[in-house]
Amino acid sequence: MNTEILGIIAIVGYAAAAILQYFNLLRGNKSGQNKVLLLGTVALACHFASFQETLLSANGINLGLFQVSSLTGWLIAALVTLSSITKPLGNLLIGIYPLALLGLILGLININTAEPLQNLSLGVCSHIILSILAYSTFSIAVLQALLLAFQDQHLHHRKANGFIMRLPPLQMMEQLLFDLIWVGLALLSAAIVSGILFLEDIFAQHLVHKTALTLVAWVIFSTLLFGRYWLGWRGTKAIHWTLGGYLLLLLAFFGSKLVFEIILQRSI
C-alpha cells in the first residue's frame, strides 16, 4: 500500500476519532471512547507507515520542517492515545488528532527542505529523540493548560454547560498539567545535557538563538514548578507561564527551521 493511500486512511481516521470524541463528551458517553481509541490507533498505524518513507531514505534521515512536523504530530497523538487509557487525557484527543492530521498533511507534501543526516552517533540520536519527546510533552501540556483555562473561566462565571461539567474536577486537571510539565522538564533537561555533550556546534552562530530560547524556556518551566510547590502558584498564573515557556520552545523548535530552511534555504 503506497504512502498516499495510507495517509488518506490516517486522515479519515483522525477526523472521525476527533468528531466521535466530541460527541461522546457532549453526551457524556464514556463507553464510546473505546471506539475513539480504536479509530485513533488505526490512524496512528497508517500515519507511522506513511511517514517512514519520507523520514528515512537511502541518503539518511530527513529531518526537514515538513518531515519533523509529521513525526511530531504522530508522537503527540501516540502519547496522548496511550496515556488516555490510564489517565483522564481523552478530552485532549479532540484537539490532538486534528493537529496530527495537519502534521500528516505537511509530511505528505514531501518537500525536502534540509539535507539528510548521515552517520549519526548514538549521542546525537539520543539528543534528537529527547528533544522531540520534550517538545511533544510540552505540546500536550499546553493543550491541557488551554482546556484548564476554558474550564476555569466557565466555572468562575457560572456558565458551565454539559461539556464543561463532564470534564474531570478542576484540581485534577491542574495536577495533570503539572505532572506533564514535570515530565517535559525532565526530558528537556536531558536534551540540553546531551546537546552539550554530543553536539560540537551547539553554541555556533547558526544555533545560538535556538540554544538561548531553549535555555530560557527551561528557566521559565523550572520557575513555574518552583512557584507551584513553594509559593502555591496555580490557576491563571500557571497557565500564563506554561504558554510563555511553550512559545519560546515553539520558536526554538520550529521557528529556527522555518527561518533557515524556508526563508534562507539552509540546513541547521
Query: Which of 91, 117, 143 finishes a domain?
Result: 117
Regarding whether 86 and 213 lie in a shared domain, the answer is: no
Task: Quote the pLDDT of residue 189.
Answer: 96
Are the beta carbons of 148 and 173 closer than 8 angstroms?
A: yes
Regarding whether 36 and 48 lie in a shared domain, the answer is: yes
Span 94-103, pLDDT tens digits: 999 999 999 9
Radius of gyration in angstroms for the set of CA atoms belonging to the chain, rounded to a whole number: 19
Ranges of the chain with pLDDT below 50: none
Three-class SS state of 167: coil
Task: Quote the pLDDT of residue 261.
Answer: 57
Regarding whether 128 and 91 lie in a shared domain, the answer is: no
Span 123-163, pLDDT tens digits: 888 888 999 999 999 999 999 999 888 887 776 766 656 56
- Give Cβ neighbours of residue 200 (< 8 Å, ≥ 6 apart): none
Which structural domain range is residue 240 located in?
120-268
Regarding whether 176 and 112 lie in a shared domain, the answer is: no
Regarding whether 201 and 179 lie in a shared domain, the answer is: yes
Task: Quote the pLDDT of residue 235.
Answer: 82
Regarding whether 161 and 86 lie in a shared domain, the answer is: no
- Give Cβ neighbours of residue 61 (< 8 Å, ≥ 6 apart): 55, 116, 117, 118, 120
Write out the H or E segment, with its range, that includes residue 71: helix 65-83
Query: Which of 65, 83, 117 finishes a domain?
Result: 117
Are the beta carbons of 249 and 195 closer than 8 angstroms?
A: no
Task: Quote the pLDDT of residue 203.
Answer: 58
Looking at the DSSP bridge assignments, the partners of residue 117 are: 61
Regarding whether 267 and 158 lie in a shared domain, the answer is: yes
Query: Which of 64, 85, 117 finishes a domain?
Result: 117
- Please give the model's pTM, rounded to 2 decimal places: 0.88
Tell me how many domains the chain contains: 2
